[in-house]
Amino acid sequence: MKELVSQADWKDYLSPVWPHFSDIMADRGMGAALIDQNGDRYLDFTSGIGVTNTGHCHPRVVKAIQNQAEKLLHGQATIFYHKPMQDLVTELRQVVPSSLNSFFFSNSGSEAVESAIKLARHATGRTNLICFQGGYHGRTVGAMSVTTAKRIYRLHYQPLMPGVIVAPFPSSEEETERCLEALEQLLFTQTAPAETAAMIVEPVLGEGGYMVPSATFLQGLRSICDQHGILLILDEVQSGFGRTGTFFAFEHFRILPDILIMAKGMASGLPLSGIASSRERMEKWIQGSHGGTYGGNPLACAAAAETIRVIHDEHLVERSAKAGRQLVHLLQAVTRTHPSLVEVRGLGLMVGCEFRDGNGKPDGKKASEIRRRCLEKGLLLLTCGTHDHVIRWIPPLVVTEQELHHAVSLFAESVAETGDRLG
């Protein structure tokens, strides 16, 4: 006889490998609001970890999904073409650099990272990869091998993929020159340029603490890669699709990638990811050596194409830049009366608040307590950073000024409640 699952104990059947940051049973969402089954309303400043850039259930995206669902639910990319993918390619051609004129689609950020790694190795005929301290690129084996944001992601999974060398990432502009010199030294001591296929880096560190490097650093990476024929892979999984106040974060730094990785905000909540590179480079990828059953799913492609149109039509990139400036201004006011909040940083609506204790050490305990108190007040936030000592702000790009003010007031109350106040 089959075991009956009650409403009370059904969660016991879920793998505990998922950490849960709340007990909210979500029912519906709209814009920056999330509503549970009891009708309680929350301000969602997580956006599903940077996914719902157009807000929860944007009407135009929902309509595009509904229309496509009546026509075709699955269209395997190696068997036939379909119009949603055609539409998505057309829209992407308007927002990616013209040199990135060939696309491959998959489902998750990790899959897209795996795709980029495999393309880089085939295109260059080289094996090794350089990643950067604090970077997060996913949890499948290849992606995990270039991830150094937190030890939990690698715990008891090692040894991982060989041929990966970790370079330092500057935590301040003053460290830029030292980090570039250390990178040059790596090419003399650990991986010769002739065996180095690519460098992979987030333009803004995500899980690593919302660290924004200087333009000099990323331009330095571009120069070193050009000098040695190494490909530069930019992971824009969390920073793309208007999140940082430009369509892609690399635009802030005046560089171009050889391979661009996209996911999260790409399809407003449906699973879709992709990489973009040059046609010439893609043609060096041996046909049939990579693929997937669901990549480029018609529903997800329809959602993504409409997402890009919405971002354009509603000027969400510009709104992200303006709202981000407002958010930083409001949060910096909190730093003046709360000494443990040592820095507010970020680009657009990708903003981090770093907490440290009286000895200057990362204070993950305080950040987690503040996040919990915010949750009790109806504000959803997440932490990041090596010690979970950074509270990250990633509201949807449609967030209103009133919602920003309300969220920061709840945050300030929560910080004050932890006993951290001057005067």
Three-state SS for 328-367 is HHHHHHHHCCCCCEEEEEEECCEEEEEEECCCCCECHHHH
| Confidence grade of residue 47 (pLDDT, cut at 50, 70, 90) | very high
Residue 238 has pLDDT above 60, yes or no: yes
- The number of beta carbons lying within 10 Å of the beta carbon of residue 16 is 8
Write down the pTM of the prediction.
0.96
pLDDT at 346: 97
Residues 6+ apart with CB under 8 A from 179: 167, 168, 169, 170, 217
> 10-54+315-417, what's its fold?
Aspartate Aminotransferase, domain 1 (3.90.1150)
Three-state secondary structure call for residue 393: strand
Contacts (Cβ under 8 Å, ≥6 apart) of 136: 147, 149, 150, 153, 202, 205, 206, 207, 208
Helices 298-313/83-92 angle, 10° precision: 30
Residue 225 is predicted with a pLDDT of 98
Residue 250 token pair: 């690399």
Q: Across residues 255-279, what is the average pLDDT?
A: 98
Q: Which residues contact 314 (CB under 8 A, 6 or more apart)?
A: 54, 398
What single-letter DSSP state applies at residue 161?
-
**First CA to last CA across the chain, in angstroms?**
66
Q: What is the pLDDT of residues 144-180, one digit of tens each?
A: 999 999 999 999 999 999 999 999 999 988 999 999 9
Q: What is the DSSP letter of 133?
A: T
**Confidence at residue 174, expressed as pLDDT on a 0 to 100 scale:** 92
Peptide bond between residue 59 and the one before it cis (omega within 30 degrees of 0): no
Please report, rounded to a whole number, the percentage of residues in the chain having pLDDT higher than 70: 97
Q: Is the pLDDT of residue 3 over 80?
A: no
| Residue 9 confidence (pLDDT) | 84
DSSP state of 31: B
Q: Are 354 and 343 in contact (CB under 8 A)?
A: yes
Distance CA 214, CA 172 (A): 8
Assess whether pLDDT exceeds 60 at residue 64.
Answer: yes
Q: What is the C-alpha separation between 9 and 109, in angstroms, rounded?
A: 32
Q: Report the pLDDT averaged over residues 245-268.
A: 98
Contact 245, 324 (CB under 8 A): yes
Ordered by start, the domain boundaries in the chain are 10-54+315-417, 60-313
pLDDT band at residue 422 using 50, 70 and 90 as cut-offs: low
The structure tokens listed for 318 are 């510009």
For 238-315, where are the alpha helices, taking DSSP H only? 279-282, 298-313
Provide mean pLDDT across the span 352-359.
96
pLDDT in the model for residue 2: 60
**Residue 420 pLDDT > 80:** no
Bridge pairing between strands 102-106 and 273-277: antiparallel
CA distances from 53 to 14, 44, 350 (A): 28, 11, 11
pLDDT in tens, 191-233: 999 999 999 999 999 999 999 999 999 999 999 999 999 999 9
Q: What are phi and psi of 166, to 5 degrees?
A: -100, 125
Query: Candidates 3.40.640.10, 3.10.20.30, 1.10.10.60, 3.30.70.1140; correct CATH number of 60-313?
Result: 3.40.640.10
Check residue 419 and give its pLDDT.
Answer: 80
Residue 6 confidence (pLDDT): 63
* CA proximity to 241, closest of 317, 145, 292: 317
Helices (H), 70-158: 83-92, 109-124, 141-145
DSSP state at residue 32: T
What's the pLDDT score for residue 4?
62
Beta strands across the sheet bearing 231-235: 102-106, 273-277, 259-262, 231-235, 196-201, 128-132, 164-167
User: pLDDT of 290-348, one tens digit each?
Assistant: 999 999 999 999 999 999 999 999 999 999 999 999 999 999 999 999 999 999 999 99
Buried-state track 239-258, b at ≥16 Cβ within 10 A, e below 16 = bbbbbbbbbbbbebbebbbb
- Kindly give, in sequence order, each residue whose CB lies less than 8 Å from that of residue 151, ignoring residues fewer than 6 positions away: none
Taking the CA atoms of residue 310, residue 73, residue 262 and residue 18 in that order, the dihedral angle to the nearest 10 degrees is: 110
